[in-house]
Every structure is written in structure tokens, then in C-alpha cells.
Amino acid sequence: MVTYGELSAFDRMAADARLAPDLERRAAMSEMAAVEIANYGRLAARLGALGVDPETAMKPYIDVLGAYHDSTEPRDWLEALTKAYVGDGVADDFFREVAAFIDEPDRQLVLDVLHGSRYQGFAVAEIRAAITADPKVANRLSMWARRLVGEALSQATRVSGQRPALIALIIDRAGDQAAVQQLFRRMTIAHTARMSAAGLNN
């Protein structure tokens, strides 16, 4: 799921870079996309080393990740940035939580491919600047972020129905239902903090 997530993130961010208002910003998002495909290479190599065909391993996630991206096609640069920041942020939080349940060296590999702070700093600075220039932007992007989270949860529910092994991993390793609830509470808190950091409201 992480591997195909990287491959599709590359594709979508590369396309979203076209929404940039100037070449410098277009290059910045293109460079972010390039990080995703480099991460893809590391993950695909690890799958290969485990004797798993990357194509086969990724196949179950093509539809859900495609549906998420298709239903959250940004219409402008700020929506693209917000998607990269909020959408990838929530996904990162989830993968970070799940990484705690898997063994090394895979745990570290998953943590390594999560998005760095430099990346988030760029999105936050751009979104805040846009809100300063036009305060109405905050409301529009807050609504957009809620839609992103809604679509992500919708697809996550779909995956969990189709891939019970993923749910079993989380519930078994977390320990009990209360621990799973705590996991989602941590994710909610992190999401709220991320929204505030960019001047958005939940």
C-alpha cells in the first residue's frame, strides 16, 4: 500500500505541479514528486528482496488509491498544496502508527519514506501567505481539507473491508480495541494540529 501510494503520489503531484503560478513553485512541487518516486524505488526493491513481485503486491491498492485521487483532483495551486499537506499528512500518520507494528528493517524503511518537515514547511508557508493575502481562502481550503479527509476515510473503509489482514495486523499488534481507538485519537490530534499550523480550521 505504501509502495503504490508512492507511485501514485508521484503521478498526481507531477500533474498538480502544472497548477503552480510560476516556474519556481512548479519546480518545487516537481521536486517533491521526485522524492516520491525515489521512495517507490526503495520500497519496490525491498518487496523484491522479500521475494514479492511489486506489481502483485501493489495491485489490491490501485483502485482505492485511484478513487481517492480521482475524487480529490485539485482545481488550483492552493488545493494541490493543501492536498499534499493534509492528505499526505494523514496518510503519513497512519503509516507511522502501522510501522510500529512491523519488524525491522521494514519499520525503519516505512518511517524513512514518510514526508520530511522541509516539504511540510513549504506547504504551510504557501497556504499561510495565501490566507494573509485573502482571508476568505482559509474557509475555502478548510472545507477542501475536510473533503480530503472524508474521501480518505471512505477509501480506508473500503480497503479495510477488502484487506482484513491489514486490520488484523493493527488490532492484533495494538493489543486491544482501546489501543486501536487511541491510535485513531492520536491521528485526530495530529490532524487538528496540522490544520492549525497552516491557519486552517477543522
Residues that bind a copy of itself (CB under 8 A): 4, 7, 10-11, 14-15, 17-18, 22-24, 26-27, 30-31, 33-34, 37-38, 40-41, 44, 54-55, 58
Give the type of residue at 152.
A
Residue 179 is placed in which grid cell?
Answer: 489501543
**Rg (the chain; Cα; Å):** 17
Query: Is the N-terminal amide bond of 60 cis, ω within 30° of 0?
Result: no
**Size of the chain, expressed as the number of residues it contains:** 202
Q: Produce one character per residue of 78-91: b if its CB has 16 or more CB atoms within 10 Å, e if not.
A: bbbbbbbbbbbbbb
Nearer to a copy of itself (CB atom), residue 10 or residue 68: 10
- Would you say 24 or 104 has its CB closer to a copy of itself? 24
Residue closer to a copy of itself, measured from CB, 50 or 178: 50
**Least distance (Å) between residue 67 CB and a copy of itself:** 16
> What phi and psi, each to the nearest 5 degrees, are found at residue 78?
-70, -35
Q: How far is the CB of 103 from a copy of itself (least distance, A)?
A: 25
CB of 198 to a copy of itself, least distance (A): 25
Cα-based distances in Å from 79 to 12, 82, 87, 128, 200: 13, 5, 11, 13, 13
Please provide the DSSP assignment of 83-136 as one string. IIIIIHHHHHHHHHHHHTTS-TTHHHHHHHHSPPHHHHHHHHHHHHHHHHH-TH
Q: How far is CA 153 from CA 41, 115, 156, 188, in A?
A: 27, 20, 5, 12
- Whole-number minimum distance, CB 193 to a copy of itself, in Å? 31
Of residues 31 and 63, the one with the C-beta less far from a copy of itself: 31
CB of 119 to a copy of itself, least distance (A): 14
Taking the complex as a whole, how short is the minimal distance between the CB of residue 40 and a copy of itself, in angstroms?
6
**Smaller CB distance to a copy of itself: residue 44 or 149?**
44
Q: Which is nearer to a copy of itself, 36 or 97 (CB)?
A: 36
Cell of 181: 481507538
